[in-house]
Amino acid sequence: MTEQVYEPGPDGMKRRRLTTVTVERPRCPACAGVKLRKYRSLTDQGDSSALWWVRCPCGHRFRVLLE
Ligand SMILES: [Zn+2]
């Protein structure tokens, strides 16, 4: 997680600093590739999380849980 520090604006006032939340792409645990093909998904689990079944070009298949 990184936090961006804003430069003072043209009016000289310092902008409000907002926290930046970084969402990383799912990566293949075998080759760290990000070009994953989703072939099945389960999006309604009651808590707004989603589960994907993905396949990497390297042939590795795995699941991705999006919280
Ligand atoms: Zn892979």
pLDDT in tens, 13-53: 667 899 999 988 999 999 999 999 999 999 876 888 899 99
Q: Alpha carbon of 50 to those of 11, 12, 31, 42, 60: distances in Å?
A: 43, 44, 23, 6, 20
Angle at alpha carbon of residue 32, lines to 28 and 38, rounded to 5°: 30
pLDDT greater than 90 at residue 4 = no
Closest by CA position to 32, among listed 53, 3, 58: 58
**3 or 14, greater pLDDT:** 14
Give 11 Cα–ligand 1 centroid separation in angstroms: 49
Distance 10 CA to ligand 1 centre (A): 46
- pTM value? 0.64
Ligand 1 mean position, distance from CA 64 (Å): 13
Instruction: To the nearest 10°, report the CA torsion of 22, 62, 47, 3.
Output: -10
Q: Are 51 and 65 in contact (CB under 8 A)?
A: yes
14 CA to centre of ligand 1 in angstroms = 44
**How far, in Å, from the CA of 67 to the mean position of ligand 1?**
22
Structural domain boundaries of the chain? 37-66
Q: Encode pLDDT of 51-61 as tens digits.
A: 999 999 999 99
